[in-house]
A and B are shown apart, each in its own frame.
Chain A
Amino acid sequence: MTTRNILIIAMMIMGIAVPASTQTITSGMLGPLRPRSIGPAVMSGRISDVAVVDTAPRRFYVGAAGGGVWKTTTGGASFTPVFDDYNQSIGAITIDQARPDTVWVGTGEPWTRNSVSVGDGIYRTTDAGRSWKRLGLDSTERIAQIVLHPKNPSTVYVAAPGPLFHDSPHRGLYRTTDAGATWQNILPGDARTGCTDIIVNKKNPNILLASMWSFRRTGWSFSSGGSGSGIFRSTDGGATWKRMATGLPTGELGRIALAASPVDPQLIYAAVEASESALYRSTDGGLTWERRYVGSVVDIRPFYFSRIVCDPVNKDVLYKHGIQLFRSDDGGNTFTTIAQSAHSDHHAVWINPANPRHLLIGTDGGLYASDDRGTTVRFFGNLPISQFYHVRADNQDPFMVYGGLQDNGSWRGPSRKSGGIRNKDWTVVGGGDGFYVVPDQAEPHIVFWESQGGNVVRTNLKTMESKSVAPTPDDGSLKLRYNWNTPIIPGTAPGTIYVGSQYLHRTTDRGETWMRISPDLTTNDSLKLRQDATGGLTLDNSSAENHCTIYTIGEHPTNRSIIWVGTDDGMLQLTRDGGTTWQRIVVPDSVVPAGTWVSHVAPSPHNEGTCYVTFDGHMRGDMKTYVVEVSAFGATSRSITWSDMRGYAHVIKQDPVRAGLLFCGTEHGLYMSFDTGASWITLKNGFPPVAVRDIDLQPSTNAAVIATHGRGLYVIDNLDILREITPEIFTRDLTILRTPVAMRSLESGEASWFESDAEFRGESIGRDTKVWYVLRERHSKGPFTITVKDSAGKVIRTIPASGRKGLNSVEIAIRQQAPLTATSTVGGAFGSLFGPLLSEGTYTLEFTRQGTTNTGTLNVIADTTLGHSAADRAAQQALMQDLYAMTEELAVTVAQLQQARDTLQARGGRTELLQSIIALNAELVNTKEGMITGEEQVRERLSSLYGEINSYLGRPSNSHQQLAGTLQRRVSEATRRTQELLGGLGMPTRAEVEAGLRSTSK
């Protein structure tokens, strides 16, 4: 803890606020810097639980494995994330069905795969998710079930399997009798045995049935089963327990799923993992058991699929989760595979108690609904809970992003898109579990991707032809040792790719030939090479436990001879000669405990000898954050971890332009430093505390792409702004940041179509140009405006400034004011709703407040990607100005006519003149009443033409020019005739009428 922190704590204890003058930068002071969520939701992500209000099934909550809690009140037509301030790994959600605004959420997913996250206790809302209270069980790390006492809602049972990677007493069956104020562990298990399932007998709530599970995962092994596992029964509300054995397998047991039939609380099903796993049934409330089924439905991955759900009406119908979803209609003797078009790997099923044909199904690939007991399913394409492992941006404009996801393959999508980034904008590149997806630098349609365990593939996205290009052993052996999440890293030289097994491999011809450029860089510890035997009672060798492998590779951005490598068994290695010789870098134990997994190496673009490194000890039970600066080619190392960082570290990146600017992602959030790690801030501003697995910095657009494992991808668009942020600028009254460059650009032509609410749309960037500035204090009193002036000093527009303390951004539309437009009986002249885009050139921005003025500039440039020549652009701008003037001329003429008409009508007499005025007005503007009259007079034709020219930035067509000429003649003629008609009437002058119009339309 730093001295400063101690001081702050001392002051807090004494009830004293920290004075403003000592404030460091906080996330709140960077408010407008808001990462843009681009999803996608096309593949969605792993769902761990679903909870539905039984009496109003359009209202339900979805718990994501890594993406928080999502609520719908519309049957899933739309979802809102309601848990964004809290731990994003959800284990269990339970609604108090008698008071459905009360919802309990247990954090920490119980499906204990290698990439599973870590929870931090139990929460409750009493206002349907608007606010949450954290109610303890902080160290359980994983909560599998929450069951309310059927009569007393203050009594709640929580099944906590507990920590996965280390011994802990914080596991077992917990009970509160005071709505979460205090908890008792009423069935504690042992250091590696916790509780997974709990049944409270509805008729006699003193009868409890619980399953206990003994389990452990390390970086190189998983073990399910042990002497602590079993089914336990209490008849006194949990005071005493008996292990149930009659009819159950002898010997060690593994994970056990329990479910009671809602029809008959004595009827209980159990899926029991054992040396021979089987489905059992009890008809006496769990005292004795009968074996019903043996086979693949219960064999498969009990740690991932131990869940049974009973039909609410028919006691012989039950659903068993698995790679597929299974249903038995005969009390568990036989099973049918259902929901076959849904994504594989099922974790949650809800059955509508009022209509058992209606199901909700949560999988590794999102949420589905069925109306026919799972025969057919519908997908919810609006849950952006996708779990990326890595992300890469290419150099196209707009740049494309590439990434792989847990059980959801490899994908490519746009970083921005007119109207938002939709599910259909994404292309699937490859299947399996996806990790690194790397586009070729010269030809981004050539993409390298992989599935788990180092199966590297090269795909041509134009032809969709793929070639396996993984390195193979050069020493006569059959297999290399690849991590589950094998690094594929592009080098700076075109065509160069690195891949790590236990060795480092390099190709310079897109994977046709590989050079092994290192010896085994790992510890090659035989005790950690046991993936063939991993799983415990159920063998589970999926490559998830492959160990002693290279996990991270970093080639220096300016010196390709320097390559840093980190391994999962704690080796940090460096070559300075392109792989000829290697040097092991030892980071002192005082900085990082020896053997800690190296999760990321990021060679400094500013210094050849410096590398930023993150370490991740969570698979050894060490949840601390380790962020390290290694310098002088490994001679020195220092911790740059911040004491407020939460979660084991996954990634660090240094900005290539400003050396002090660092980004760090951990299991529970995103952090930024402006001073090379001396201090950090937690980036909030709409960004949840989600696992940040990877970050890629895109140089040409100054963007950072953030890969989260639960909330998809985010883009930070304004690295150029961040580069200007220093603590010092927060001490000045007002600082205008970088000169904004506004491109005369219209969003691309793709028309938006009628979309339902039920599809997620990733945020794109608005069309308006942002002006950024920093204020020392919140602006509270008096006007504060920004005025845009052209080079001649003419005011284009004045807009309200934003007055946040700290960073502000104001969108400035680079348009003139909309023109004065003639009034007609009905309807707007929508073509002339907006002013023309400002001409190319330099403009002045005047910030005015409290009598002081600060001046900045704004450059408006052409969008050359549209391909219009300077002459064509000038023709458009010239015609636009003509149409603008015409529109205003007509507006004044029509106002003169209408004022004269009204005056004459009031005075009476001069009927002939009045008729002439009415007739002329009717030639100029619509006069028919009604919503859809189809009438088009000069005003309407002019407005249409204005809109057409204003929405195409190249040369107007000859037809456009011709029509403009005709309209000009008609408008001029109308002005002339109006002067003639009104001569001698004593009406206000043309200039007076115009001034009046401007005062009411600004």
Chain B
Amino acid sequence: MHRFLLFITLAFVVVGNLSAVTLEEILAKNLQARGGKAKLEAIKTYTTDGTMTMAQGMDLSFTQAMKRPHKFRMDMSFQGMSMITAFDGTVAWSKNPMAGNKVEKAPESEVKRMAEQADLDGVLVNSKDKGYNLELVGPEDIDGSTAYKIKVTDKDNEVSHIYIDAVTWLEVMWSKSLSMMGQEADVEIMMSNYQEVGGVQMAMLMEIRSEGQTVMSMTYSNPKVNVPIPDERFAYPGEQPDAAETPKKK
């Protein structure tokens, strides 16, 4: 009986009530844990360096820049060459030295993905205005600890899931069933190594898992906010091939 009482007391003190949390509360706690709306909105640009780690010890370094509204650019360095992937708010484009080094527009499906990527605030902030429908599925065991699973349905009826850690209230996982090479596979992105940048918690490690195995990870470093970046850096440069560009770093 003593043990029972101890259990109950511990339970109240340590965790509190898991089942009674609503979606609104989770969203509020997540925003709070990230640093709050004001701090988030104060971020106008966000840049990082990073390393992409793949199987067999292949590392690629990159720089990444984001700017409101909806601008994104990643420059990946490979044997002295630079691969660019960018979105200027309307056009998603890329330039790949391995594929002729010409500027190429991305297909419509890619535009949608890039637009999501370019959203500095993330899906959970102002989700209704962005056309997302959110639904709390419930608590779930993610890698041994509890997270809240939120079902996200976008305006095209595509479904993904976001998981919020029940202790830190930060995003811990994003998952989606994707069609890859004709086969449907569940892809999971694990988010961790949060670091405060400009008053906001940013994930500095993203592990990409397929079928439960890590297939790639992205480590971010040297994060900076509100470094001025001209819009031209994101802008679609048009069809003309331009001179080989070395990655502009720092």
Q: Which residues in A have some Cβ–Cβ distance to B below 8 Å?
A: 7, 10-11, 14-22, 26, 28-29, 31-32, 34, 71, 73-74, 77-78, 80, 127, 130, 685-686, 757, 766-768, 777-784, 797, 799-800, 802-806, 810-815, 817-818, 821-823, 825-829, 832-835, 891, 895, 931, 997, 999-1002
The interface residues of chain B lying within 8 Å CB-to-CB of A997 are 80
User: Is B249 on the interface with A (CB-CB < 8 A)?
Assistant: yes
**Can you offer 10 A-B residue contacts whose CB atoms are under 8 A?**
A11-B7, A32-B212, A74-B182, A78-B181, A777-B145, A778-B145, A778-B167, A780-B170, A810-B214, A815-B56
The stretch of B94-102, B113-121, B229-237 that contacts the partner chain: B94-102
Against A, the Cβ 8 Å flags (1 = close, 0 = not) of B49-67 are 0010101111101000000
Distance to closest chain A CB from B158 (angstroms): 11
Q: Which of B56, B101, B214 contacts A802 (CB 8 A)?
A: B214
Closest 9 pairs (CB-CB, A-B) = A813-B57, A823-B80, A805-B144, A29-B144, A804-B143, A806-B144, A28-B141, A815-B57, A821-B79
Distance to closest chain B CB from A22 (angstroms): 7
Q: Which of B168, B184, B211 contacts A780 (CB 8 A)?
A: B168
A805 to B3 Cα, complex, angstroms: 26
Are the CB atoms of A931 and B100 closer together than 8 Å?
A: yes
Against A, the Cβ 8 Å flags (1 = close, 0 = not) of B202-238 are 0011010001111001010000000000000000000
The interface residues of chain A lying within 8 Å CB-to-CB of B172 are 778, 780
Are the CB atoms of B98 and A828 closer together than 8 Å?
A: yes
A818 to B78 Cα, complex, angstroms: 11
User: Is B45 on the interface with A (CB-CB < 8 A)?
Assistant: no
With A11-B7, A17-B11, A26-B144 as known contacts, state yes or no: A833 contacts B165, CB within 8 Å: no
With A16-B17, A77-B182, A828-B79 as known contacts, state yes or no: A34 contacts B168, CB within 8 Å: no
With A74-B182, A685-B212 as known contacts, state yes or no: A834 contacts B168, CB within 8 Å: no
Are the CB atoms of B17 and A767 closer together than 8 Å?
A: no
A607 to B191 Cα, complex, angstroms: 47
Q: Which of B57, B145, B184, B193 contacts A835 (CB 8 A)?
A: B57
The interface residues of chain B lying within 8 Å CB-to-CB of A779 are 192-193
User: Is B77 on the interface with A (CB-CB < 8 A)?
Assistant: yes
Against A, the Cβ 8 Å flags (1 = close, 0 = not) of B102-129 are 0000000000000000000000000000
Chain B, range 169-216, C-beta contacts under 8 Å to A: 170, 172, 177, 179, 181-185, 190, 192-195, 201, 204-205, 207, 211-214
A767 to B81 Cα, complex, angstroms: 28
With A17-B16, A757-B181, A891-B80 as known contacts, state yes or no: A22 contacts B7, CB within 8 Å: yes
Are the CB atoms of B193 and A783 closer together than 8 Å?
A: yes
Distance to closest chain A CB from B140 (angstroms): 9
The interface residues of chain B lying within 8 Å CB-to-CB of A777 are 145
Distance to closest chain A CB from B151 (angstroms): 9
With both beta carbons as reference points, the residue of chain A lying nearest to B77 in the complex is identified as A1000
A780 to B4 Cα, complex, angstroms: 31
Distance to closest chain B CB from A937 (angstroms): 14
Are the CB atoms of A781 and B194 closer together than 8 Å?
A: yes
With A768-B56, A783-B204, A800-B219 as known contacts, state yes or no: A73 contacts B10, CB within 8 Å: no
Are the CB atoms of A19 and B11 closer together than 8 Å?
A: yes
A74 to B192 Cα, complex, angstroms: 36
Distance to closest chain B CB from A164 (angstroms): 34
Chain B, range 1-52, C-beta contacts under 8 Å to A: 3-4, 7-8, 10-12, 14-20, 51
Are the CB atoms of B159 and A130 closer together than 8 Å?
A: yes
The interface residues of chain B lying within 8 Å CB-to-CB of A813 are 55-58
Distance to closest chain A CB from B202 (angstroms): 11
Distance to closest chain A CB from B192 (angstroms): 5
With A15-B17, A778-B145, A828-B81 as known contacts, state yes or no: A800 contacts B53, CB within 8 Å: yes
A160 to B83 Cα, complex, angstroms: 60
Are the CB atoms of A1001 and B207 closer together than 8 Å?
A: no
**Size band of the interface chain B makes with A:** 35 or more
Are the CB atoms of B207 and A1000 closer together than 8 Å?
A: no
A777 to B144 Cα, complex, angstroms: 9
With both beta carbons as reference points, the residue of chain B lying nearest to A816 in the complex is identified as B57
A804 to B214 Cα, complex, angstroms: 12
Given contacts A11-B8, A80-B185, 6 further A-B pairs with CB under 8 A are A7-B3, A782-B195, A811-B55, A817-B59, A828-B81, A829-B79
Are the CB atoms of B214 and A811 closer together than 8 Å?
A: yes
Are the CB atoms of B207 and A78 closer together than 8 Å?
A: no
Q: Which residues in B have some Cβ–Cβ distance to A below 8 Å?
A: 3-4, 7-8, 10-12, 14-20, 51, 53, 55-59, 61, 77-81, 97-101, 141-146, 159, 165, 167-168, 170, 172, 177, 179, 181-185, 190, 192-195, 201, 204-205, 207, 211-214, 217, 219, 244, 246-247, 249
Distance to closest chain A CB from B113 (angstroms): 19
Q: Which of B57, B81, B98, B211 contacts A834 (CB 8 A)?
A: B57
Distance to closest chain B CB from A642 (angstroms): 18
A916 to B169 Cα, complex, angstroms: 62
Are the CB atoms of A782 and B193 closer together than 8 Å?
A: yes
The interface residues of chain A lying within 8 Å CB-to-CB of B142 are 28
The interface residues of chain B lying within 8 Å CB-to-CB of A823 are 79-81
Distance to closest chain A CB from B165 (angstroms): 7
A848 to B154 Cα, complex, angstroms: 39
Q: Which of B11, B77, B249 contacts A16 (CB 8 A)?
A: B11
Are the CB atoms of B212 and A31 closer together than 8 Å?
A: yes
With both beta carbons as reference points, the residue of chain A lying nearest to B97 in the complex is identified as A826
The interface residues of chain A lying within 8 Å CB-to-CB of B7 are 7, 11, 19, 22
With A11-B11, A686-B211 as known contacts, state yes or no: A799 contacts B144, CB within 8 Å: no
A783 to B204 Cα, complex, angstroms: 7
With A778-B143, A779-B193, A781-B194 as known contacts, state yes or no: A1001 contacts B61, CB within 8 Å: yes
Distance to closest chain A CB from B144 (angstroms): 4
A806 to B145 Cα, complex, angstroms: 9
Distance to closest chain A CB from B33 (angstroms): 10
The interface residues of chain B lying within 8 Å CB-to-CB of A768 are 55-57
Distance to closest chain A CB from B142 (angstroms): 7
With both beta carbons as reference points, the residue of chain A lying nearest to B57 in the complex is identified as A813
Q: Which of B15, B146, B182, B213 contacts A34 (CB 8 A)?
A: B213
Distance to closest chain A CB from B194 (angstroms): 5
The interface residues of chain A lying within 8 Å CB-to-CB of B246 are 1000
Are the CB atoms of B58 and A833 closer together than 8 Å?
A: yes
A499 to B7 Cα, complex, angstroms: 53
Are the CB atoms of B80 and A821 closer together than 8 Å?
A: yes
Are the CB atoms of B249 and A780 closer together than 8 Å?
A: no
Distance to closest chain A CB from B102 (angstroms): 11
Are the CB atoms of A757 and B183 closer together than 8 Å?
A: yes
Distance to closest chain A CB from B79 (angstroms): 4
With both beta carbons as reference points, the residue of chain A lying nearest to B166 in the complex is identified as A17
With both beta carbons as reference points, the residue of chain B lying nearest to A821 in the complex is identified as B79
A784 to B53 Cα, complex, angstroms: 15
A636 to B184 Cα, complex, angstroms: 52
A99 to B10 Cα, complex, angstroms: 50
With A20-B14, A800-B219 as known contacts, state yes or no: A999 contacts B80, CB within 8 Å: no
With A20-B15, A780-B170 as known contacts, state yes or no: A834 contacts B80, CB within 8 Å: no
With both beta carbons as reference points, the residue of chain A lying nearest to B140 in the complex is identified as A28
The interface residues of chain B lying within 8 Å CB-to-CB of A1000 are 61, 77, 80, 246-247, 249
The interface residues of chain B lying within 8 Å CB-to-CB of A778 are 143-145, 165, 167, 172, 192
The interface residues of chain A lying within 8 Å CB-to-CB of B201 are 781
With both beta carbons as reference points, the residue of chain A lying nearest to B205 in the complex is identified as A800
Are the CB atoms of A80 and B183 closer together than 8 Å?
A: yes
The interface residues of chain B lying within 8 Å CB-to-CB of A814 are 57
Distance to closest chain B CB from A218 (angstroms): 41
Interface centre among A16, A818, A822 (most CB of B within 10 A): A16
Distance to closest chain B CB from A638 (angstroms): 24
Distance to closest chain A CB from B18 (angstroms): 4
A137 to B20 Cα, complex, angstroms: 30
Are the CB atoms of B212 and A15 closer together than 8 Å?
A: no
Are the CB atoms of B143 and A28 closer together than 8 Å?
A: yes
A805 to B98 Cα, complex, angstroms: 40
Are the CB atoms of B61 and A827 closer together than 8 Å?
A: no
A780 to B99 Cα, complex, angstroms: 38
Are the CB atoms of B183 and A21 closer together than 8 Å?
A: no
